[in-house]
Structure 1
Amino acid sequence: MSSIQKFSFSRVGRSVLLALGTTTAMMSLNTIAQETPEPTQAGQEEVERISVSGRLMSSAASAAAERREQAYVAEVLGMEQISRAGDSNAAAALRRVTGLTLVKDKFIYVRGLGERYSSTLLNGAMVPSPDPTRNVIPLDMFPAGIIESLVVQKAYSPELPAAFGGGNVNIRTTAIPLQTSFNVSIGTGFNSLNSDDGFEYAGGGDDWRGKDDGQRSISPALASAQQQYGILTPINIAEALGGITGPNLAQAETIVRELGTAFNRDIDITPTSVKPDFDASASFGTRFDLTKNVVFGVMSGLSYDRSTQNIDERERYYSVSGDNLVPLNRYDDIKGTEHQVKLSGMLNFGLELGIDHRLETSTIYLSDTKDEIKIKNGDSIETINETNRFNTDTSILYEERTMLSNQLRGKHNFPYLMDLAVDWQYTDAKARRNAPGEVEYRYLNETQDDGSVFSFLRRNQNAVNYSFSDMKDNTENLSWNAKLPLTLGKAEMTFSGGYSYFERSRNAQTDRFNFDTVGYSLEQLSGSFSEIFSDSNILNPANGFKISNVTTQADDYLAAQMIDAGYGALEINYDYMFRLNIGVRYEDFKQISLPLTADGTVSGTVTDSVLLEDGFYPALSLTWFVDDDLQARFGYSKTVVRPDLREVTPVLYVDPLTDFKVTGFSGLKSTDISSFDARLEWYYDNSNYSFGLFYKDLDNPIEAIELSGSDGNLLMSFRNGQSGKVYGGEAEFLQQLDMFSGEFGKFANNFFVAGNLTISESEISIQPFPGADLTNLTRGLSGHSKFVTNLQLGFDSDDNKHNATLTYNVFGKRIAFAGVNDKDDAFEQPFHSLDFTYGYTPLENMTLKVGLKNLLDEEVEILQQGEILQQRTEGQSYSLSFSYKY
């Protein structure tokens, strides 16, 4: 924050939460009962299973068995299935699940819906997201090595949070292993884009640990000056020195120049060869039989992943013509390099006291560091009509995303209390996004008469932009569930109920500074960055160097959430022919988001920043066991999707995934959803088939829209539509090729095929908005794909030494953002992903694995008006790993 005091996070969080509670009482507002459906899953009693390594069919069959026992529509992905497909993290693994697609390698779209319609739990608990622009957790942060299984629930059940749209992902880890195990693996990889040189800069320091060494962070001198002077202009500093007089103003100008030398300016971009990727992981688990009935277990894991990938992108520029933005037949070419370091650690303990009591602790640390350099050659308003001039824009982004979760869980059975079962959990989690080193600057290039090019840093009041951002989220989550079984004739009943409490506090602050080069001559601006801003040039009064805090794009805000919830449910299993699950959840939701001005005061009125809701969210599921192999499911629910903290805070920020400028809107309402599901499932030996239909009705759906911009750049915001709907069908199959005879049958018996297909339609009705002339007031939902397909062909040799898997995934085109000013909607085009993995196990405890990804060499494209708006080359990836298991 500019001149705002740097609050301690704990004090800020508690005070904002207190303000939220007191504001609720003082405002005496009528809360609005919200009933909205969302598919989610949690609180289901876990089914213990042994994963048979070596043959994927065994693991897939056990996962299918667990899915079969779920009361609500769900998908289960086991550890062996994840390992077999060569997936390195939870996000990559989940794109194999029916109706799920992966976006930006981070976020999951369920049934073609955007990431706002999915939610994530860690061992049944809500945890914060280290991504400042989205409420959902980037699932690429969870390495495969810490995952015991992934459960995706597509139909809502009342023990889950009511914020449920398309589906809920529950990431489950193990605390007490079945036996002592030790696993270690190392691997390397390479992307085809990396055959060309990449980019680096000296001032980044040594980041192999995924931690900034301090060179990028705001300097103590600069932080102290902000505390003392506030806005760092000569006039403001002179006033702080005693008044705007000649001596004070001269001293203030000297102070400003000296502060200029406190910035990291060793950021000249140089080419460098790209090193191969490297990853390593190790895990250890064991159990101790302390007495006949007491077992103590421990499970630990550590993984490290360092990767580099070159960037090859194109963007179309829009020129301003009257009131319209006109697309030009020219593109900006973007080259760059992204260095990434991922580090994760897990330490779980478990204690079993007989068969009736179990205690577990889980500590998980996740770190994901990105150091990105982008160099864009293209046009702007300054050069668009000049054939002999173009720009070179350089941007450097360094960010550290971390999450630390501490969890305590318990499960208890009380046979003497009518077999009452109780489970509970308490989770304290912290997430942080620290971006201490974001720099942007532009060079102008002029072609001379002799064909040479004269390049110089633009002479401007904001020629260089420095940004230092820090966002901290702190959450606490407490919940318990109780189940009481009863038998009445042929009916087996289970009464269940529970309570949960969740609170979140967020402190987000950003310091922005500009370098003013108006006093420089063009010759002085024609050198490298470090030469232009050398100590001698900055301190020379003749150059008129200045810095200033940027207050027009203040990005500071405080926010908090509180949720009190309780539920009751009843399950009736009649003669193993029908199972009825019915229940209702009540949630009391409070949220406050306070944008702050440069001096640390609240911008706007507090009442505009408060969202208060309470409501009942019912769920019903009916399962008909047609016979031992066939069952039918029917479901209905009402849930809600609430706006994210950032979406309701009217501050300007840049979306790190799209590079679009985005501003929040305080008037957003929650989306109420009514959901209907029907599904037929057939299980036969190791094969299974399913077919389902679904329908969702959305009231006040939240949509990303494009506002009219004046600089040719896209400005996005959020508004509520009037209504929306999504409906479609999905099918899934898993079949071993054991139906053939003869020699071919013996060979085919080693193969299996699996696949799924989701076909759906969506529609949203949205009203006109001031500042946004929407082209289509009736269209599909943003992020929705009309079809999603996954196919898998697997092979296991008889001796279990060889296995191979070929996987294919594709999604239908989806709206990236809605068109305005008579422009068409912008559509992300289908991406055909074809991957192959091969594993060789020469010894029972050793495996060598080869992975090939994006074999079709597809590119990510967003088209508008039939022309490419954005294009990104993914390249082909190759990996080799060795693992040892004991």
Structure 2
Amino acid sequence: MSSKQKLSLSRVGLSVMLALSTTTTLLPIHAKAQDSAPAPQTETEELERISVSGRLMSSAAAAAAERREQPYVAELLGMEQISRAGDSNAATALRRVTGLTLVKDKFIYVRGLGERYSSTLLNGALVPSPDPTRNVIPLDMFPAGIIESLVVQKAYSPELPAAFGGGNVNIRTAAIPLQTTFNVAVGTGYNSLNSADGFSYAGGGDDWHGKDDGTRAISADLATAQRQFGILTPIKIAEALGGINASNLAQAETIVRELGTAFNRDIDIHRTSVKPDFDGSASFGSRFDLAKNVVFGVMSGFSYDRATQNIEEQERYYSISGESLTPLNRYDDIRGTEHQIKMSGMLNFGLELGVDHRLETSTIYLRDTKDEIKIKNGDSIETINETNRFNTDTSLTYEERTMLSNQLRGRHNLPSLWDLAIDWQYTDAKARRYAPGQVEYRYLNETQADGSVFSFLRRNQNAVTYSFGDMQDNTENLSWNAHLPMTLGKAEITFSTGYNYFERNRDAQTDRFNFDTVGFSLQQLSGSFSDIFTDNNILDSSNRFKISNVTTQADDYLAAQMIDAGYAALEINYDYLFRLNLGVRYEDFKQVSLPLTADGQISGNVTDSVLVEDGFYPALSLTWFVNDDLQARFGYSKTVVRPDLREVTPVLYVDPLTDFKVTGFSGLTSTDINSADVRLEWYYDNSNYSVGLFYKDLDNPIEAIELSGSDGNLLMSFRNAESGKLYGVEAEFLQQLDMFNGSIGQIADNFFLAGNLTLSESEITIQRFPGANLTNLERGLSGHSKYVANLQLGFDSDNDKHNATLTYNVFGKRIAFAGVNGKDDAFEQPFNSLDVTYSYAPNSNISVKLGLKNLLDEDVEILQQGEILQKRTEGQSYSLSFSYKY
């Protein structure tokens, strides 16, 4: 742990109070709770759902029935649907929802809008994201085993946070069961890319459980030196030793060299065979009758997933020509290996006091650890015009993403008080991204006259960079909702009101150290990494080895958010012909994000980093029950999308999805959104159809733009465009194929077909910015796809022993980043995904499942001017699992 980490609490408190005190409209930070309230529980939601080993068609129909009862436009996936389709986590399940696409298997785009326009709730409460580059939670962190259902609400309702763009995902975890249940499963998997050997290094430590054993962490000697001297240069250390003189400078240089031996240098890359993936899970739930009408329940679960996948990528390098950036006609080849460990644990308790009172606790722990090695052979500014030279860049990235959520919920029906219903929740959640020991270095390769290649570590003041990062988010949430029903003639009326409080404190810091190799000879630099940086070479004064923790990429910052919110709503159901829902939410929002200097001081003007706003956010929904099978909906709402903490903090970081360098911009403002929906839904037996129109008007949408980078690499940032709009049509169907007669009909009766299609257009108008010569000032929204299609063909045998699902998913090309200097916008190309799952259950307790992913063997590609800028090979994945349930 670094010295900065030990001061985190005091720095957070003092800095946040200082920032908030700069404006009289802000209140002191105090520990309260989150602005996200659970959605009002409909009668359907109150029912416990028993998971049976029935037909997938029935499960899909049950989910459709619950969606039918929702007052606002929503989609729902049940536990059985998720399991039968072979989805391993929340993210892969959601890509089958109408209008949703998935980015890097982590983030969802709703109706073609980027992940900034979606939000995530856990059992109705906002929880922090362990990904510092995104405001939303990476949904691949939630394993399928803890999910009871996924609800995607596309139309805003006032009990939800006002930060609502394309949609809100509510992850509802497994509830207390109606009977004793026990499940255990084990499985294995393999990716076609893993047929070749992968990469590994000896100095990684023992981290099979996804937690570094201290091998990568910043050493105690280094942390002590930072506390004592601050910036680790000979001049600064000499000053701390009593003054700059020959004796103190000599001692300081000795200290710097000795600190060099405190780094983990056992990181030589070697090839190794790739082991098959492994996953296992177990869950247990039961109920106990404690007394008359008093029931206690417990639900627990644990899962472990270890996966390794080789990396094959290509990218073009940008050479600088005048004021423009031009891609070369050759690619940089990237090879590597990613090792990933995922662990999750869940422990829920419930207490039912009769039928009117229910208390629940929920503790969820998620850990997602990535250990990645990437080796890139290509060009840079140093070798761009030299045919006999090229670079080999090596990067080691290790990060642990964790989230711990403790939740207490209650529901109370009070018949003696006019059937008043109250629900409430308190959530304390913590998220952390711990990334110790990230290493980057470059070898130069020179082709000699005899054809041999001479390779050496570059001689540079920044020849090697070590990074030690730590980001921690702490949130507290409190919310309550009250619902008062009454009957007035043929009208059933429900008044609702609620209060939400949300608070977040973030402390993000990174220690970066550079190795100076200017004093080394080329012969010394031509060996392996561990041979170059031996203790003897580092301590040898003639090599003039130095370390430095002063860089231009320091990304330390402190941030805080507070949201104080309340709402009132009214539902009128008139004679089951019309249902009118209307309400308004008021939010008081405060945010501060403070970049820090290398010595921990606030950088820049504090008031520039404060965002304060409040407003009213209305919502209206009208449902017309045309008949028992047909209903029509209309909805309107006004919402907001606010800039993320990282987007408004002017520090430099690397986007893990694109590998682009990104810097924040403190001048961002919020995006106001006006939305309208019209939808027609038809439900018939187990089949259902729907078609809808949607329109969104965006004021000041936030867009990612490309700035002029000094090193030829892409440098991205964020700016507000002037205006934007999104409109389109979406359709969905679920149909059992039982309309045929004869022998064909007997076979077809076991099949069903489900699918959805979204067609949409988007437009934005954006102005020119200094340092960003945008090519197109009118274009589509970044991340928007003009079409999204999903199709499922399902089979269930009569005896329910055989179940199979064929799933196809595709999205239209979408802007990855806007073009500059006359170049067209860069588009991520359509990705056609075809997956198959087959399950065999010889009896009601045992099942075996086979999964095949990406059967079309598609690659992820980003094109610009018809040329590939980035290409990532996904490979085909195969999985086999065995499960037993009681």
Report the TM range for the smaller structure's normalisation. over 0.9
**CA shift for structure 1 position 634:** 0.1
User: Which residue identity is paired with 1:750?
Assistant: N
What is the aligned partner in structure 1 of residue 30 from structure 2?
none
User: Which residue identity is paired with 1:681?
Assistant: E
Distance 1:631 1:12 in 2: 55
**CA shift for structure 1 position 600:** 1.3
Q: Does 1:303 align with 2:303?
A: yes
User: How does 1:348-363 map onto structure 2 within 5 Å?
Assistant: 348-363=348-363
What is the aligned partner in structure 1 of residue 368 from structure 2?
368
SS in 2 for 1:206: coil
User: How does 1:90-129 map onto structure 2 within 5 Å?
Assistant: 90-129=90-129
**CA shift for structure 1 position 22:** 3.3
Q: Which moved more, 1:649-658 or 1:266-275?
A: 649-658
User: How does 1:128-527 map onto structure 2 within 5 Å?
Assistant: 128-527=128-527
Q: Which moved more, 1:349-358 or 1:53-62?
A: 53-62
User: Which residue identity is paired with 2:597?
Assistant: T
User: Which residue identity is paired with 2:694?
Assistant: F
Distance 1:20 1:302 in 2: 42
**CA shift for structure 1 position 823:** 1.0
Distance 2:688 2:172 in 1: 24
Distance 2:780 2:102 in 1: 19
**CA shift for structure 1 position 54:** 2.7
Distance 2:41 2:674 in 1: 22
**CA shift for structure 1 position 175:** 3.3
Distance 1:27 1:683 in 2: 50
* Contact persistence 2:325–2:712 (CA under 8 A): yes
SS in 2 for 1:647: coil
Distance 2:624 2:184 in 1: 45
* Contact persistence 1:20–1:590 (CA under 8 A): no
SS in 2 for 1:290: strand
What is the aligned partner in structure 1 of residue 70 from structure 2?
70
Residues 26, 743 of structure 1: alpha-carbon distance in 2 compared, 3 angstrom cutoff: closer
* Contact persistence 1:130–1:432 (CA under 8 A): yes
**CA shift for structure 1 position 246:** 1.1
Q: Does 1:629 align with 2:629?
A: yes
User: Which residue identity is paired with 1:89?
Assistant: N
Q: Does 1:750 align with 2:750?
A: yes
**CA shift for structure 1 position 550:** 2.5
User: Which residue identity is paired with 1:679?
Assistant: R
What is the aligned partner in structure 1 of residue 21 from structure 2?
22
1:265-321 alpha-carbon deviations (Å, 9 max, x no partner): 000000000000000000000001112211111000000000000000000011001
**CA shift for structure 1 position 21:** 4.6
What is the aligned partner in structure 1 of residue 878 from structure 2?
878
What is the aligned partner in structure 2 of residue 662 from structure 1?
662
User: How does 1:802-841 map onto structure 2 within 5 Å?
Assistant: 802-841=802-841
**CA shift for structure 1 position 737:** 0.5
1:692-712 alpha-carbon deviations (Å, 9 max, x no partner): 000000000000000011211
Residues 310, 666 of structure 1: alpha-carbon distance in 2 compared, 3 angstrom cutoff: same
Q: Does 1:42 align with 2:78?
A: no
Distance 1:407 1:41 in 2: 12
SS in 1 for 2:785: coil
* Contact persistence 1:206–1:213 (CA under 8 A): yes
SS in 2 for 1:740: coil
Distance 1:296 1:242 in 2: 67
What is the aligned partner in structure 1 of residue 33 from structure 2?
none
Distance 1:570 1:833 in 2: 43
Q: What is the aligned-residue RMSD (CA, Å)?
A: 1.5
* Contact persistence 1:756–1:790 (CA under 8 A): yes
SS in 2 for 1:831: coil
**CA shift for structure 1 position 19:** 4.2
Distance 1:494 1:40 in 2: 17
What is the aligned partner in structure 1 of residue 701 from structure 2?
701
User: Which residue identity is paired with 1:6?
Assistant: Q
**CA shift for structure 1 position 323:** 1.0
User: How does 1:545-560 map onto structure 2 within 5 Å?
Assistant: 545-560=545-560
* Contact persistence 1:41–1:169 (CA under 8 A): no
**CA shift for structure 1 position 47:** 4.1
User: Which residue identity is paired with 1:245?
Assistant: N
**CA shift for structure 1 position 577:** 0.1
1:367-392 alpha-carbon deviations (Å, 9 max, x no partner): 00000000000000110111110000
What is the aligned partner in structure 1 of residue 765 from structure 2?
765
What is the aligned partner in structure 2 of residue 6 from structure 1?
5
What is the aligned partner in structure 2 of residue 594 from structure 1?
594
SS in 2 for 1:881: strand
What is the aligned partner in structure 2 of residue 618 from structure 1?
618
Distance 1:41 1:349 in 2: 18
**CA shift for structure 1 position 241:** 1.1
* Contact persistence 1:41–1:155 (CA under 8 A): no
Q: Does 1:645 align with 2:645?
A: yes
**CA shift for structure 1 position 136:** 0.3
User: Which residue identity is paired with 2:349?
Assistant: F
User: Which residue identity is paired with 2:24?
Assistant: A
* Contact persistence 2:831–2:860 (CA under 8 A): yes
SS in 2 for 1:178: coil
* Contact persistence 1:852–1:879 (CA under 8 A): yes
**CA shift for structure 1 position 42:** 3.1
* Contact persistence 1:837–1:852 (CA under 8 A): yes
Distance 1:255 1:557 in 2: 29
SS in 2 for 1:842: coil
**CA shift for structure 1 position 247:** 1.2
Residues 768, 660 of structure 1: alpha-carbon distance in 2 compared, 3 angstrom cutoff: same
1:211-236 alpha-carbon deviations (Å, 9 max, x no partner): 00101000000010011111111111
User: Which residue identity is paired with 2:112?
Assistant: G
* Contact persistence 2:569–2:581 (CA under 8 A): yes
What is the aligned partner in structure 2 of residue 582 from structure 1?
582
Distance 1:630 1:679 in 2: 11
**CA shift for structure 1 position 138:** 0.1
Distance 1:811 1:342 in 2: 28
SS in 1 for 2:842: strand
* Contact persistence 2:53–2:844 (CA under 8 A): no
* Contact persistence 1:472–1:507 (CA under 8 A): yes
TM-score (norm 2): 0.98
* Contact persistence 1:457–1:463 (CA under 8 A): yes
* Contact persistence 1:285–1:298 (CA under 8 A): yes
Distance 1:18 1:407 in 2: 28
* Contact persistence 1:505–1:559 (CA under 8 A): yes
Distance 2:559 2:139 in 1: 23
**CA shift for structure 1 position 120:** 0.2
1:484-519 alpha-carbon deviations (Å, 9 max, x no partner): 001110010000000000000000000001000000
Distance 1:373 1:95 in 2: 28
* Contact persistence 1:40–1:119 (CA under 8 A): no
Residues 5, 131 of structure 1: alpha-carbon distance in 2 compared, 3 angstrom cutoff: closer
User: Which residue identity is paired with 1:75?
Assistant: E
* Contact persistence 2:38–2:123 (CA under 8 A): no
1:584-630 alpha-carbon deviations (Å, 9 max, x no partner): 00000000011011121110111100000000000000000000000
Distance 2:719 2:41 in 1: 35
What is the aligned partner in structure 2 of residue 31 from structure 1?
none
Distance 1:631 1:724 in 2: 31
**CA shift for structure 1 position 20:** 5.3
SS in 2 for 1:155: coil
Q: Percent of aligned pairs with the same residue?
A: 83
**CA shift for structure 1 position 11:** 4.1
Distance 2:681 2:177 in 1: 31
* Contact persistence 1:9–1:472 (CA under 8 A): no
Gaps of 5+ in 2: 28-35
User: Which residue identity is paired with 1:460?
Assistant: N
What is the aligned partner in structure 2 of residue 36 from structure 1?
none
1:87-106 alpha-carbon deviations (Å, 9 max, x no partner): 00000000010000110000
* Contact persistence 2:334–2:374 (CA under 8 A): yes
